[in-house]
Amino acid sequence: MINKNKLWKTHNNLSLEERMEIVKKGPIPSHVAIIMDGNGRWARKRALPRIAGHHEGMKTVRKITRLANRLGVKALTLYAFSTENWKRPKKEVDYLMKLPQEFLETFLPELVEENVKVQMMGNQQQLPSYTVDAIKKAINDTKQNNGLILNFALNYGSRAEIMEAVHHVLEDIRNGVMNEKLLNEETFSRYLMTKQLPDPDLLIRTSGEIRLSNFMLWQLAYTELWFTDTLWPDFSEHHFLEAVESYQKRSRRFGGLG
Ligand code: FPP
């Protein structure tokens, strides 16, 4: 009989490079989406202000982006700010709005160098101009890149996205741009903010919460879900590989018998 504990220990003793090489031999999820949760709790455990947790979370974004790119993941969508996050204290919202700028000021040269292509999905209109400008610059500076797509979900909410798509479809039908008879799941998908992306193969949520929180409800229909108690600032490359390993062990049937 296989001793699971022994296997697990052996696995954990592998270096990151060794573990990566093994993972790369299996199927790599094309699109990974992450609900980065637990920054506040990470800070509270250290008696730090919540924004310190977000700052630390930003470093995890860099780490995981680099790893995903090296693994050959095609797209990484990160839930950085939801349409519901405006309810947080102003000081925290202000800080979260400054994070893309801070992140990109520091890491944009590295993203350009590493062939990462930055994108964003979400409602830009309510965002401060400095947030939009930072993202637009990153999108522009990386538009020729063809490596990992780093897609920030910023001021994003899935129900709002679907409603907006419905209105857009109706408008196109009224204007004769769209034929009602051609409306199906595939054509409707093109009205969503993810129109250039495949649906995620793997969703990761950190911090022990087991819910979707209005994130990519349409796109996650057949996605493999992976939850961990680890708080986002503590989420390491090994945790990401663990999620991919778990994905590799699952058999995806998409409703069929496989
Ligand atoms: C959820 O943790 C996290 C957020 C609402 C913000 C996520 C943002 C980052 C990780 C940084 C983003 C970086 C860039 C580059 C845009 P929480 O505050 O809800 O944690 P809690 O549940 O423990 O309070």
Per-residue model confidence as pLDDT tens digits over 20-46? 999 999 999 999 999 999 999 999 999
Active site residues: 37, 85
Tell me: pLDDT of 1 over 60.
no
- Work out the pLDDT band at 2, boundaries 50, 70, 90: very low
Q: Which residues pair with 81 in a beta bridge?
A: 154
- Work out the pLDDT band at 12, boundaries 50, 70, 90: low
Pocket flag, ligand 1, residue 193 (CB < 6 Å): no
Q: How far apart are CA 105 and CA 101, in angstroms?
A: 6
- Work out the pLDDT band at 13, boundaries 50, 70, 90: confident
> Residues marked as binding?
37-42, 50, 54, 82-84, 86, 88, 205, 211-213, 224
| pTM listed for this prediction | 0.94
Domains of the chain: 27-157+199-249 (3.40.1180.10)
Tokens of 226: 């992976």
Pocket flag, ligand 1, residue 66 (CB < 6 Å): no
Pocket test for ligand 1, best of 65, 137, 210, 232 (most atoms within 8 A of CB): 232
Per-residue model confidence as pLDDT tens digits over 212-231? 999 999 999 999 999 999 99
CA 153 to chain centre: 7
Name residue 171's amino acid: E
- Work out the pLDDT band at 4, boundaries 50, 70, 90: very low
Average pLDDT of the residues in 166-179:
98
Within 10 Å of residue 29's Cβ, how many Cβ atoms? 25
123-127, 187-191, 194-198, 247-251: segment of lowest average pLDDT: 247-251
Q: Where are the alpha helices (DSSP H) in 15-157?
A: 16-24, 39-45, 50-71, 90-113, 129-141
Tokens of 171: 């408008």
Query: What is the pLDDT at residue 9?
Result: 47
- Work out the pLDDT band at 5, boundaries 50, 70, 90: very low
Tokens of 15: 């270096």
Closest residue to atom 16 of ligand 1, CA basis: 100
- Work out the pLDDT band at 255, boundaries 50, 70, 90: confident
